[in-house]
Amino acid sequence: MSLLVQKYGGTSVGSIERIKQVAAKCAAAKRAGHDLVVVVSAMSGETNRLLALAHEISEVPDDREKDVLLASGEQVSVALLTLALKEAGQRARSFLGHQVRIATDNAYGKARILSIDSTKILLALKAGEVVVIAGFQGVDEDDNITTLGRGGSDTSAVALAAFLNAQACEIYTDVEGVYTTDPGICPDARKLARISYDEMIELASTGAKVLEIRSVEFAKKFSVPVHVRSTFAEVEGTWLVNEEESMSDVLVSGVACDRNEAKITLLRVPDRPGLAAQVFGPIADAHIVVDMIIQNASEDGTTDLTFTVPKADHKKALAIVERTARAVNAKGVKIDTDMAKISAVGVGMRTHAGVAAKMFEVLAREGINIEMISTSEIKISVVIEAKYTELAVRVLHEAFIGKQGTV
């Protein structure tokens, strides 16, 4: 019998009515002959609500306790969906991360899945039950509850599909698939029938939150067929596939934006060997991921060092950097949380020149100043003032992808 993993996001389980609809969809897939493992997120808004509660108590909440708190959102939705399945006459059983044993490392708030024990899942499936598993959470080797980072239920689902060797992983969400840009921002965005794993990794890492980046990395590594599709419309969505030759004909296949980064500048630090290691070592030790880094040309033996970190980590990062600034005798530290990163992604960039130049030109025409630039083989990202986000996305989409044609 074929095994399917389905994942339903927050909006898809955002009310009791919607949970009942999801239960009906799951029961139909089961009747169609599939063994079914269903991963669910917390009801929409719940993770943010819990996070806000923690912040009412402390400015930088303890990492371990924050994970205990946030994981409770998914506990509610697995129970409600399982109840709805049973009510619809379908045998079902819920599991939390630690009950299955989704083993992770101990990096609270951004834990990585190390292994998944399939024993209980396979027993339940054999008994004819739909297995409903809490997304976003796991357990470390000392039995502490961990969470995987925002959007982490995608990763739970793809990892389960990989470990269980599922036929496919269906990601059900509130849009019909992966689009050329966020359809919520740009009305001209078009749904892609297929996207390569590599392009999706770049889009996810640059802010297209339709899939969490680690879920795509997992999918690529284990060749999991992933189908992103709508919970609310019975239509084909977008398949993640290995790169196909025709894909490199398209210069830019997607435009993404990210308002979740903060920019930190260390002013006038001594320009000497070992300085960067001294600055970034403690940040890495605190499991904070640094994205872009710029070091300006050196004048009088000192230089400015600018970099970006996730907004969620900016207070922690700032405290660390202020300590380093004192130790290395820097002039000071500046922080800016009002910025956005806009990226153009496409495998066609490997073989075509001129994308960066065109991007700069289009932004210049709108009077948008570029503060930072970074590139990879198939991506160009710029940092701009946050107030220009929507405008930049629309003009870049218009310039590179346009309104017409198929993708």
Which of ligand ADP, ligand ASP, Mg ion, none interacts with 11 (beta carbon under 5 to 8 A by kind)?
ligand ADP
The gap from C-alpha 152 to its chain's centroid, in whole angstroms, comes to 7
Binding characters for ligand ADP, 15-54, by CB under 6 A (x = yes) = --------------------------x-------------
**306 part of the interface to ligand ASP, by CB under 6 A:** no
The residue length of the chain stands at 407
Let me know if 15 is exposed, middle or buried by CB neighbors in 10 A (0-12, 13-18, 19+): exposed
Interior angle at CA 242, CA 240 and CA 247, nearest 5 = 90
Q: Which residues contact 204 (CB under 8 A, 6 or more apart)?
A: 210, 211, 212, 213, 215, 216
Closest distance to ligand ASP from the beta carbon of 39 (Å)? 9
Which of Mg ion, ligand ASP, ligand ADP, none interacts with 175 (beta carbon under 5 to 8 A by kind)?
ligand ADP
Of 22-30, 170-178, 277-285, 384-392, the segment contacting ligand ADP by CB under 6 A is 170-178
Closest distance to ligand ASP from the beta carbon of 109 (Å)? 11
Shorter beta-carbon distance to ligand ADP: residue 183 or 270: 183
Which of Mg ion, ligand ADP, ligand ASP, none interacts with 80 (beta carbon under 5 to 8 A by kind)?
none
Q: In what order do the strands lie in the sheet with 137-139?
A: 113-116, 102-104, 137-139, 145-147
Q: Name the nearest CA neighbour of 174 among 3, 36, 7.
A: 7
- What is the SS3 assignment for 208? coil
DSSP secondary structure letters along 273-305: TTHHHHHHHHHHHTTPPP--EEEPPPBTTEEEE
Shorter beta-carbon distance to ligand ADP: residue 241 or 318: 241
Shorter beta-carbon distance to ligand ADP: residue 181 or 308: 181
Closest distance to ligand ASP from the beta carbon of 229 (Å)? 16
Shorter beta-carbon distance to Mg ion: residue 189 or 208: 208
- First and final C-alpha spacing in the chain: 34
**153 part of the interface to ligand ASP, by CB under 6 A:** yes
**151 part of the interface to ligand ASP, by CB under 6 A:** yes
Q: Name the nearest CA neighbour of 332 among 265, 276, 260.
A: 265
Shorter beta-carbon distance to Mg ion: residue 208 or 363: 208
Which of Mg ion, ligand ASP, ligand ADP, none interacts with 174 (beta carbon under 5 to 8 A by kind)?
ligand ADP
**248 part of the interface to ligand ADP, by CB under 6 A:** no
Which two structure tokens, joined as six digits, stand for 63?
């990492």
Let me know if 158 is exposed, middle or buried by CB neighbors in 10 A (0-12, 13-18, 19+): buried
**177 part of the interface to Mg ion, by CB under 5 A:** no
Instruction: Tell me which residues in 37-76 interact with ligand ASP (CB under 6 A).
Output: 41-42, 47, 73
Shorter beta-carbon distance to ligand ADP: residue 109 or 280: 109
Of 3-11, 179-187, 284-292, 320-328, the segment contacting Mg ion by CB under 5 A is 3-11
Let me know if 371 is exposed, middle or buried by CB neighbors in 10 A (0-12, 13-18, 19+): middle
Instruction: Tell me which residues in 317-336 interact with ligand ADP (CB under 6 A).
Output: none
Let me know if 382 is exposed, middle or buried by CB neighbors in 10 A (0-12, 13-18, 19+): buried
Among 61, 97, 138, 152, binds ligand ASP (CB under 6 A): 152
Rounded Cα–Cα distance for residues 391 and 407 (Å)? 22
Residues 349 and 252 sit within 8 Å (Cβ to Cβ): yes
Please tell me the count of residues contacting ligand ADP according to CB under 6 A. 19
- What is the SS3 assignment for 241? strand
Q: Which residues pair with 261 in a beta bridge?
A: 310
Instruction: Tell me which residues in 125-164 interact with ligand ADP (CB under 6 A).
Output: 151
Among 4, 139, 201, 208, binds ligand ADP (CB under 6 A): 208
Among 14, 151, 207, 310, binds Mg ion (CB under 5 A): 151
Residues of the shown chain interacting with ligand ADP in the complex, contacts defined by CB under 6 A: 9-12, 41, 151, 173-175, 178-179, 181-184, 208-210, 254
Residues of the shown chain interacting with Mg ion in the complex, contacts defined by CB under 5 A: 9, 151
